[in-house]
Amino acid sequence: MSVSQAVEAFLAHLAVERGSSANTLRAYGNDLDRYRGYLDERGIAELGAVRETDVGEFVAALRSGPTPLAASSAARALAAVRGLHRFATRDGQIPVDVARGVTAPTLRSTLPSTLTVDQVDQLLAGCVGEGPGDLRDRALLEVLYSTGARISEAVGLDLDDLDTGDRTVLLRGKGGKQRIVPIGR
């Protein structure tokens, strides 16, 4: 099977069977177009002709080309390539997953910055008053602070997601993933 045919089949699989978001499909499509172009430059038209060294050299080229990618972007591109090869292997298009053993660039691990207690107090103090908007804003800040929810998770909450007996809340995150977290008073 040609690289182009395999890419199109993989993207269709992500869209239809995995229900991937439009943003995910666009990012994977861009990364796989870059991969397809890389293989074309080397005269590799069939996915079965790709070797592990080709995948490794692709990742290295991403980090050192004329416009080098950040380690996180190169790692995302490798994830797309790994997904393509894993899919093609499971689907019987190629006999061996050559991308499986390729390691991703090391990412610098940094913790997100957090607000100080004074900064949280300032945020909450900004929501003074008893009007509906004031109460909503204060409740939203309390939910964000006590649960560690993302903004998108917090604004997507329904009243049914709150369990006042157990003091927990059901959050729906990226990709429809759900998690139950404790919530403050």
Give the containing element (helix H, strand E) for 37: helix 22-41
Residue 14 lies in a domain: yes
Q: 98-127, pLDDT tens digit by residue?
A: 999 898 877 777 777 888 889 878 887 887
Give the residue with greater pLDDT, 169 vs 114.
169
What's the pTM value of the predicted model, to 2 decimals? 0.62
The reported pLDDT for the residue numbered 120 is 78
Q: Count of alpha carbons within 13 Å of 86, Cβ hemisphere only?
A: 12
Q: 38-84, pLDDT tens digit by residue?
A: 999 999 999 999 999 999 999 999 988 788 888 889 999 999 999 99
**176 pLDDT higher than 80:** no
15 in the same domain as 80: yes
73 in the same domain as 147: no
DSSP structural state of residue 50 = -
124 in the same domain as 84: no
Q: Which domain holds residue 148?
A: 117-182
Q: Spell out the long-range contacts of 69-72 with Cβ–Cβ below 8 A and sequence spacing 24 or more.
A: 71/105, 71/106, 71/107, 71/108, 72/107
CATH code of residue 54: 1.10.150.130
49 in the same domain as 125: no
